[in-house]
């Protein structure tokens, strides 16, 4: 197993029944074990890579304790996943991006997209072009039309052979990986799938 190294400072956005929060988390990795601390709220977690891209872990803090499942991009620069209280179903989800030196953000290029929970739409090779803020991508038989809404976030609609819906993805500071969520129909509907993408530096 050759899991990426997650040691460093991370910007993590968490959603759940208690609302949405953004925090700074420090991760330290030794072998396949990962330890995380959030100095602001006293939460911490421990986890172990069970594959090159998945961590199963436990969290603990002033608000209780529970489990989490983390899906990591192959380059170790972004992750997303779900969390819950012990013995219960998922309470919420999270996305994390490693704090790295800034690079210019462009969606243009070829991306390797992996599923990170839910149905496996958009998985495989995604090729994108960009003109100004407008982004057009092809993922298999799916056509994605989007636009940068902030400097690092694209919101898009997609059309496939049988369905259509929305797709949103956020670029990491290194501009070589992203986190994404997608759903069917209008973008006010809840996400049904999550993805992580990594730029193909070979083309």
DSSP 119: S
Range of the domain at 174: 109-199
pLDDT greater than 80 at residue 69 = yes
Q: What is the pTM of this model?
A: 0.56
Cα–Cα dist 145/136, whole Å:
5
The confidence band for 203, taking pLDDT boundaries of 50, 70 and 90, is: very low
Split into its structural domains, the chain has a count of: 2
pLDDT tens for each residue of 5-24: 999 999 999 888 778 888 99
Domain shared by 42 and 92, yes or no: yes
Tell whether 136 and 55 lie within a shared domain.
no
Q: Across the chain, what does the average pLDDT equal?
A: 91
Q: Tell me, what's the pLDDT at 42? A: 87
pLDDT given at position 202: 60
Q: State whether 64 and 41 are in the same domain.
A: yes
Q: How far is Cα 80 from Cα 179, in angstroms, rounded to an integer?
A: 7
One domain for residues 90 and 113 = no
Same domain, 131 and 91: no
Tell which of 98, 131, 164 closes a domain.
98
Of 63-72, 96-105, 186-195, least confident by mean pLDDT is 96-105
Strands (E), the chain: 8-16, 19-30, 33-37, 44-49, 54-61, 64-72, 78-85, 92-98, 109-115, 124-131, 134-139, 142-150, 153-159, 164-171, 177-184, 193-199
What pLDDT, in 10s, does the model give residues 91-123?
A: 899 999 998 866 667 899 999 998 887 777 788
Q: What is the pLDDT of residues 143-183, one digit of tens each?
A: 999 999 998 999 999 999 999 999 999 998 778 899 999 99
If one counts every other C-beta atom within 10 angstroms of the C-beta of residue 172, the result is 27
């Amino acid at each position: 197993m050759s899991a990426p190294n997650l040691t460093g400072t991370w910007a993590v956005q968490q959603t759940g029944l208690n609302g949405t929060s953004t925090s700074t988390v420090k991760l330290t990795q030794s072998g396949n074990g990962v330890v995380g601390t959030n100095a602001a709220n006293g939460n911490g977690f421990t986890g172990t890579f069970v594959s090159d891209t998945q961590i199963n872990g436990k969290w603990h803090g002033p608000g209780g304790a529970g489990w989490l499942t983390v899906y990591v991009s192959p380059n170790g620069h972004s992750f997303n996943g779900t969390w819950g209280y012990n013995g219960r179903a998922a309470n919420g989800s999270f996305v994390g991006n490693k704090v790295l030196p800034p690079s210019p953000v462009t969606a243009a290029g070829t991306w390797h997209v992996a599923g990170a929970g839910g149905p496996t739409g958009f998985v495989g090779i995604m090729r994108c072009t960009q003109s100004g803020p407008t982004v057009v991508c092809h993922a298999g038989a799916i056509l994605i039309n989007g636009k940068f809404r902030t400097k690092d976030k694209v919101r898009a609609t997609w059309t496939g052979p049988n369905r259509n819906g929305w797709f949103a993805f956020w670029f990491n500071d290194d501009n070589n990986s992203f986190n994404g969520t997608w759903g069917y129909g209008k973008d006010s509907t809840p996400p049904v799938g999550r993805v992580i993408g990594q730029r193909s530096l070979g083309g």
